[in-house]
Amino acid sequence: MLHLHKEWSVSFAGCGFMGIYYVGAVSCVLERFPALLRDASAVCGASAGALMAAVVTLGLPLERCCADLMRVAQRARSRRLGPLHPAFDLLREVRDSLRLRLPEDAHVRASGRLCVSLTRVSDGKNVLVSEFGSREELVQALVCSCFVPLYCGVIPPTYRGVHYVDGAISDNLPRCHRSNTVTFSPYAGENDVCPRPRSLWFHQVRFSNVSIQLNSENLYRVTSTFFPPEPEAIAGICQSGYLDALRFLQEHGLISSDGPGSTVAGAACCERATRGEAEQRGTEHAWLNPQVIAQLPANVQKG
């Protein structure tokens, strides 16, 4: 049970392209009960979860985060081998996006509150970093946390001159064992905000502290972690995150369970626009089919 009269943390599990789930979940929390994220003493994450933790810590616009994720997924899908194609550089996509989106004082605002999970190459130990001397140092830490060996390349990136790889390898849900930590994961399991299983098969495994039930739905989610599905499916994952976060807030009495909030659809800024009209307006989701846009939470539809 979450106790808001005590200090609490939030933690986001690493999940690759399934990170769009967090866009929906976070948009719900910010809309319905923003104090859960705003007043958390620490915001932790590994890999894609670390990216969302940075978004939350710095208060970056969710609609831009959503657009960036979906554009990268589109670029990956455009290749015959998907993200494994030699011409597709996922790490460069992440680095370029961070350098574009992070404000100049990002390292100052993130230090002491944002906790990024890293795996040190030399000994395989987990390192949780929360102090950043510069904006570029923050970018380096986030890039290191996202580096999946072989999938992202051969030579690991560095943070403060030391080689690190994906934090999910050694601790995929930082601080999850501490009391009063709200855990987010796009995989059905024993996490606070996560999908509910549709089957009655209750066997589960734990991967680097993340509980994952063994069922067909999670098999699809794990596959989608590395190989992004169609845009319509990605939008559905985002919507699922919104509804799962809504259920968590209601079950913990943080919002009324009988008030509005059973739907996520709202008037999209480009819902009825053609692709050309949307591009002229500079909409973040201009490249998407308007029907796909309509599936996104209302507060991430606007550009």
Q: What does the block give as tokens for 281?
A: 């307006």
56, part of any domain: yes
Full-model pTM: 0.85
Q: What is the mean pLDDT of residues 18-40?
A: 96
Q: What does the pLDDT look like over 159-191, one tens digit per residue?
A: 999 999 999 999 999 998 888 899 999 999 989
277, part of any domain: no
270, part of any domain: no
The average confidence (pLDDT) of the chain is: 86
Name the percent of the chain lying above pLDDT 90: 70
266, part of any domain: no
Gap between the Cα atoms of 57 and 242, Å rounded: 19
**Contacts with 240 (C-beta within 8 Å, 6 or more apart), sequence order:** 21, 24, 186, 195
Domain range for 65 is 9-257+287-298
4, part of any domain: no
What confidence score (pLDDT) does residue 3 get?
73
Q: Check pLDDT > 60 for residue 138.
A: yes
Q: Check pLDDT > 60 for residue 267.
A: no
Q: Check pLDDT > 80 for residue 44.
A: yes
* Overall number of domains in the chain: 1
* Beta-ladder partners of 46: 117
Q: Which residues form the catalytic set?
A: 47, 166
Out of 53-57, 69-73, 268-272, 283-287, the most confident range is: 53-57
268, part of any domain: no
126, part of any domain: yes
Q: What does the pLDDT look like over 189-217, one tens digit per residue?
A: 989 999 987 766 667 788 888 988 888 89
138, part of any domain: yes
- Residue 161, classified by CB atoms within 10 Å of its CB into exposed (0-12), middle (13-18) or buried (19+), is exposed
